[in-house]
Amino acid sequence: MAATLFFQVLVNGLVLGGLYACIAAGFSLVWGVLNIINILHGTFVVIGSYSAYYAYIYLGVHPFISVVLAGIILFIIGYLFQRGIINRVVAAPVLITLSLTFGLDLFLNNSLLVVFSADYLKLNLANPLGVLQFAGIYVPVDRLAAMVLALFLTCLLYWVLEASRIGRAIVAVRMDREAATLMGVNAKHIYAVTFGLGALMAGSAGAMLSVIFPISPIVSTLYLSKAFVICVLGGLGSVAGAMVGGLVLGVVESFGGLIFGPEHAMTISFCLLILLLIFRPTGIMGKKGYE
């Protein structure tokens, strides 16, 4: 009995961590490469959720397919935001870009409120994905899928940065903007692509989460705050940081909730965050930049 409880809580923590990693992946990229704390991130996730919801309701598109569609939509939105607005201050101190994305988020999030209202929606599949069960341990398939998606996005990002032409350019701009520009890299375009990729990952995550969490513009701040904690925990500047940070946070919250009661799950994770900031400020996997 006790073993079942232990393993169930461990599994709960890991699949929750998968969701967290999914939420944080794009945020980590934008912060690590562009040095922009993207307050818009939570709202991007919510737009991904709405895309998946309405694609399913009106067109019958399965959210697994919407993961791609929402990703593309958000890439375009993200690219335009960076190219048109954020690029103008991208070299400014972090507080300036933070204020800008904060302002843009107020605008975008309130527009969503006007369009979609604050009522909570949730995508209910006609054929629910169900639950895997073995030895008394339950694993919801939708959360498992989100975990796989997070893993996939992380690997994809790693591949893009390591092996593709655009990825090498992103890394080059991160290392030395001026040198990269002299080598013929269009820095403005690269910034916009990077921000677009971050938005793409947010959108894909949102599509996946539409079957798990209630959807409303209001939940964007919850996503954002989790992404923030995960990135600091996992460490910036490392592709695997969000994945590791997410999983650690998931497991810590899960056991924290079990041992100290659910009201302290978040307290425990924030205590961990403070300890980490004191003793290892670069985070678990952190290093400087995507070098």
Partner 1 sequence: MRKRSKISLVVLCFFVVFAASVFLSVHEVWSADKTIRIGAPLPLTGPLAPEGKKIQQGYNLWAEEVNKKGGINVGGEPYKVEIIYHDYQSKTPRAVQLAEKLITEDKVNFLFSPFGSGATKAASGVSEKYGIPTIASTASSVAVYDQGYKYLFGTFTPNQTLTDPMSKIVKENVPNAKKVAILARNDLFPMAIANVMKKSAEEQGLKVVYFGKYAIGSMDHASALTQIRAANPDFFFATGYVNDLILIRKQMADLGVKPPAVGMVAGPAYKEFVEACGPLSENVLSASWWHPAVRYKGTSVFGPTQKYNQIFEKKYGHVPDYGHASASVAGVMLQLAIEKAGSIDPKKVRDSLASLDAMTFYGPVRFGANGQINSLKPPVFQIQGGTQVVIYPPEIKESEFKLSTK
Given 9, 89, 151, 171, the residue binding partner 1 (CB under 8 A): 9
Among candidate residues 35, 30, 172, the one with its CA nearest the CA of residue 93: 35
With CB under 8 A as the contact rule, which of the stretches 8-16, 154-162, 182-190, 234-242 interacts with partner 1? 8-16
Given 26, 196, 235, 257, the residue binding partner 1 (CB under 8 A): 257
Q: Compute how many residues bind partner 1; rule: CB under 8 A.
A: 43
Measured between alpha carbons, how far is 255 from 7 in angstroms, rounded to an integer? 11
Measured between alpha carbons, how far is 44 from 71 in angstroms, rounded to an integer? 10
Given 88, 138, 148, 175, the residue binding partner 1 (CB under 8 A): 138
Residue 219 in contact with partner 1, rule: CB under 8 A: yes
The CA–CA distances, whole Å, from 13 to 48, 210, 223 equal 24, 20, 17
Could you count the other beta carbons within 10 Å of the beta carbon of residue 33? Answer: 23
Given 166, 266, 272, 284, the residue binding partner 1 (CB under 8 A): 266
Among candidate residues 19, 289, 285, the one with its CA nearest the CA of residue 147: 19
Among candidate residues 69, 82, 13, the one with its CA nearest the CA of residue 41: 82
Scan residues 224-243 and list those touching partner 1 (CB under 8 A): 225-226
Q: Could you tell me if 173 and 46 are in contact, meaning their C-beta atoms sit under 8 angstroms apart?
A: no
Measured between alpha carbons, how far is 186 from 180 in angstroms, rounded to an integer? 8
Shortest approach of partner 1 to residue 123 CB, angstroms? 9
Shortest approach of partner 1 to residue 42 CB, angstroms? 12
Q: Report DSSP state, residue 15.
A: H
Q: Which two tokens stand for residue 187?
A: 């820095």
Given 255, 282, 284, 287, the residue binding partner 1 (CB under 8 A): 255
Q: Which two tokens stand for residue 229?
A: 């904690």
One character per residue 95-134, x = contact with partner 1 (rule: CB under 8 A): ---------------x--x---xxxxxx-x------x-x-
Provide the binding-site residues for partner 1, judged by CB under 8 A: 1, 5, 8-9, 12-13, 16, 110, 113, 117-122, 124, 131, 133, 138, 140, 143, 212-214, 216, 218-219, 222, 225-226, 253-258, 261-267
